[in-house]
Structure formats: C-alpha cells, structure tokens
Structure 1
Amino acid sequence: MTDPIIGSLRVNGATLHYEVRGQGPFLLLIPGGTGGAASFDGIAEDLAAEYSVATYDPRGMSRSTLDDPDAEQHVAEHADDAFRMLELLSPGEPALVFGASSGAIAALHLLTTHPERIARVVAHEPPVVEVLPDAAEHRALIAHVQDTFRTQGLMPAMAVFAAGLKKDSDTTEPKAELKLPPRAAARAEQTMANLPYFVGRIVPSFMSYAPDIRRLEGLSDRLVIAGGQDSRGELPYRSAAFLAERLGTELQHFPGGHIGLTTHPAEFGELLRKALRASI
C-alpha cells in the first residue's frame, strides 16, 4: 500500500483536507453522510492502480474545518468545493466523479454547473427526495428530525431519521449493515463526532435540494445513477430510481445497501470501474 499525497485547499469559508493516490485518468471521490476521505479506504487503493484517485473530507467533516462552525450548509457550496478540487488537481482536463449519498447530490450539482469539467459522474443513491411524488411526506420527516434534534438530542433524532429511511416492515436490514470490515469499524469514533453536524446542517440542506431535471436530461449520457442491490424500497434508493426514470436512464445496481462501498468494497470497486470505463 502506498501512502497518499496529502494536502489542504483553502475555499470560501473552509479549509479542505484532501488525499491523492495513483496515476491515470483523474477520478474524484465525493463522500457522503458522516464519511470523509477515510470512507473510501476500502476501494481507493485498488482504484489507484488505474486512476489518479482524489478524495477529501467535505467542509465541516473530520479534518476539513469551517471558519464558522455554525454556518448554514448549501449543496451549491459543497459542489463548488468539488469544482475547486478539480481546478487544483486536474486543471483543464475533464474528470471522472463518483459521489455517494449526499456526496452524490453534490456530484449532480457539479455536473449541472460545470459540465465542461466532467467526463462522467456515477451517483450512488442520491437522496433527492424532492423528485418523488410523495415529497411532501419526506419534507415532514426532515422537519420532524430537526425538531427532535433540537428538543430531545442527537440519538432520538437519528432514530427518527433511520426509521424514515427504511422500507416498510423492514426489520432485517439494520442487522445486516452492522457487519463492517475492521477498518470501517475503527472509524466509528470519527463517525459519531461528525453526526451532530450531519444531522443539524447536512440533512436539512441536502434533502431539500431539487436537482435541475431539465439540465440533467441534456447531460444524461455522462451520468450513471446507481442503487444498492439490498436497499430496494428504502428512501435513498427510491429517490435514485425515480431520478433515473425521469432521465430515461437505467438504474445500475451495486452490491450491498446504501453503504455498499463500505460493506462490499471489492465488488463495489469492480462495478465502479466498469461504470467509469464506459467514458474512456
């Protein structure tokens, strides 16, 4: 295993920690949820045999610090952070981009605002609930999560959030998702440290984001929407499937559930390679 090149990038209101490995076509990995660059530990090294792989901690997460810790977060600003990464690490060259969950939402916005910089985007389960016919129900869920967070605290809010994401009558999926590889389990402390920021700042902003469907339709030849094989019926999967349908593209299935890149890294990485090769 080779050590990554580590650096920092100053952006508007934040300083971003980033890591680069390998050589080849440039591939930017945008993490989601409470994950930072470390959430790609299971796949980054293997991908680096074929690509120049860059990933980073999104602003406010892990080692990427905010000038104002209480600043509201916006999808457009997070997408601009990704664009600044491309400008620094892959100037002038169209890049490959993978985004997971909220990172997939940032990747979608990046594609619509800077298509000239993008060769291909693979977006895994972006929870763009505003595209769903029952979006109002999910707006109510997000409001309930925020109210619970303010009045009862973090863990009750997470319980409300997790229940809202699950499919009806699902009692088995959480048990399956607990079987994490050792390196992922070792990140639990950092994950917990990031949770308040995720629940209080990222969830309300990203899950109220409405993608520009018309713009994405014109760019759909550069976009792969993916869903987890084991997360059918869950809210992020439903959002991804509905978005793919709206764009007239086929939803590609990756192993595992919403965090399949963590629970099934080898299989996930191989399918990601196949999705990316179509653009080279």
Structure 2
Amino acid sequence: MTTTRTLDIPGGRLRYEIRGSGPLLLVVGAPMGAAAFAPLADALAADHTVLTHDPRGIAGSPLDDPEQDSTPELRADDVAALLDALGAESADVFGSSGGAVTGLALVARHPGRVRTLVAHEPPLLELLPDAAERRATVEDIVATFHREGHEAAWRKFMISSGFDEDAAPPQQGEPSQQDLADSARFFAHELRGTTRYVPDVAALTAGPARVVVGIGATSGGLVTHPTSTALAELLGTPPVVFPGDHGGFLWKPVEFAEVLRKALS
C-alpha cells in the first residue's frame, strides 16, 4: 500500500509517497521523481518504510516561482523538512545521480539526520581533471536547450554523459506535457547547480553519518564512473558495485534492492 501526501515548504509544495514498514529509508533523485523509483521502492518495502518524492519544481512538487533555480542545498533542506514531517530524527538515504548530490548536501548541512547515505553515481564534474571543459559542455547544453529545445539538449546531454549517440531521453515514447516541463526545469534551472556542486569532504567524513559511494557494474564508459571513483577516493572508502549502469534500479529493481540492503547494513 502506498500513501501519497503533500508538504508545504517555503516557496512551494512537495509531493511524497510512503510505502512499507521497518527502518525509514529515503530514496532520492534529481530530477527523477517518485514515479521512476516505484519498482525499487516496492522491492524495499518488505523490510523498510520507504519515502520517495518529487523534487522541487518537478512533477507534483510545484514552486511559487518556477524560475527559482534548484540547488543541492535547497533540495537537502527539502529532505530535512520531509524528515521533520514524519517526526523522524534520522533515516537512511539512497540518492541516485542528482539525488546523490542532494544526499551529500544533506549530510553536510544537517548533521545527525542521516544514518547511512548511499550516493549512487553523483555527477560531481568539479572533481574531474577536465572540470573546466566539462563546465563549458554543461553551458553549451543549457544554451542548446534555450536555442533548439529539449530534444537537441537531451541529445547533447546523453552524449556528453557517455551514452551512445542514438540513446533516447529518459522518458519512453512521445513526451507528455509534464515530461516537457520537467525537461525544461532540468536544463534551465537544475543541471548547472547539480554538476557544479563540490562536496564538503571534511563534513562527510566527520560523522556521524556513514557515506557509501555506489557505482554501476556496467557504467565504465559513463562520466559518472570517474566522478564516483573520485568521490570514493576522497572519502577513503571503496565503492559498492550495483547491478546495471546509471539507471540500474530501473531495469533490475529486485537485484538492486538486495545490494542496497547489504550496503545499508
């Protein structure tokens, strides 16, 4: 059984879902919302209370000012507000991609709220030797979106991320109006802030949170492989290998959930 709720936050509203029972686990994406994580959340719900949500400005989480940029810090504050709404002092967190960056900001900004963070493939481009070039590529993707629209921007984004040139955008089939709105939000107001985030290593290693870096078994050709490896090296902990690539939880949710359980324990 899944319960859907909303939470008012400064300047907007968050839509979130709760399922299962057991220790609280937050599954966080960015820009990916709750719907994409449903199969993974279902697989985890037998032994966890799983909270998923639509990040600010995405899907069912509207903002009063749609032009406000989304930053990892703001999204981290949103997650802390969700914990407060549940009356939870702390929780385990699984963050994927931009959601992993949100989780890193949460640990740094809200000490004591996270027990274990599993940061799966955070796109921390600033940790790479060619960070300046990567930053310029992001700027070109954003400019392409404003100039040519979401299809051209997604094409450049997927190629720069390491996917094949003919790789499709995340949505399947013809994009809905919500897909288009979420794409616009991502390119115009989220991509820069997420990829430019520099993790506070001192805060991440000071405790009490345990931070685990996750890497997809078949992500070797993706830019998130070296970014994740770089983060693991900074933290001084070996990464945990998960099934599939950057979106392994989409295609193998049961197998992915088993590895996540072990990482949390």
User: Do the aligned partners of residues 127 and 42 (structure 1) sit closer, same or farther apart at CA in structure 2, a change above 3 Å counting?
Assistant: same
Among 108, 113, 125, the residue aligned to 1:129: 125
Q: Equivalences for 1:1-280 in 2 at 5 Å?
A: 2=1, 4-33=2-31, 35-92=32-89, 94-166=90-162, 174=167, 185=172, 189=176, 190-219=178-207, 222-276=210-264, 278=265
- Secondary structure at the counterpart of residue 258 of structure 1: coil
- Tell me the percent identity: 38
Q: CA RMSD in A?
A: 2.2
Provide Cα deviations, 1:184-223, integer angstroms capped at 9, x if missing partner: 8589634444111111111111111111122223239601
User: Do the aligned partners of residues 187 and 149 (structure 1) sit closer, same or farther apart at CA in structure 2, a change above 3 Å counting?
Assistant: closer
Asked if 2 retains the 8 angstrom alpha-carbon contact of 1:26 and 1:90, the reply is: no
Structure 1 residue ranges, 4+ long, deviating more than 2 angstroms after superposition? 184-193, 217-221
- Secondary structure at the counterpart of residue 28 of structure 1: strand
User: Do the aligned partners of residues 186 and 86 (structure 1) sit closer, same or farther apart at CA in structure 2, a change above 3 Å counting?
Assistant: farther
- Secondary structure at the counterpart of residue 53 of structure 1: strand
Instruction: Name whichever of 96-105 and 44-53 sits farther off.
Output: 44-53
CA distance in 1, matches of 2:173, 2:51: 22
Q: Gapped runs of 5+ residues in structure 1?
A: 179-183
- TM score, norm. by length of structure 2: 0.93
CA distance in 2, matches of 1:85, 1:121: 16
- TM score, norm. by length of structure 1: 0.88
- Secondary structure at the counterpart of residue 67 of structure 1: coil
2:13 maps to a residue whose letter is T
CA distance in 2, matches of 1:207, 1:220: 26
Q: Gapped runs of 5+ residues in structure 2?
A: none
CA distance in 1, matches of 2:165, 2:149: 24
Structure 1 residue 46, shift from structure 2 partner: 2.2
Corresponding pairs, count: 264
- Secondary structure at the counterpart of residue 108 of structure 1: helix
- Secondary structure at the counterpart of residue 115 of structure 1: coil
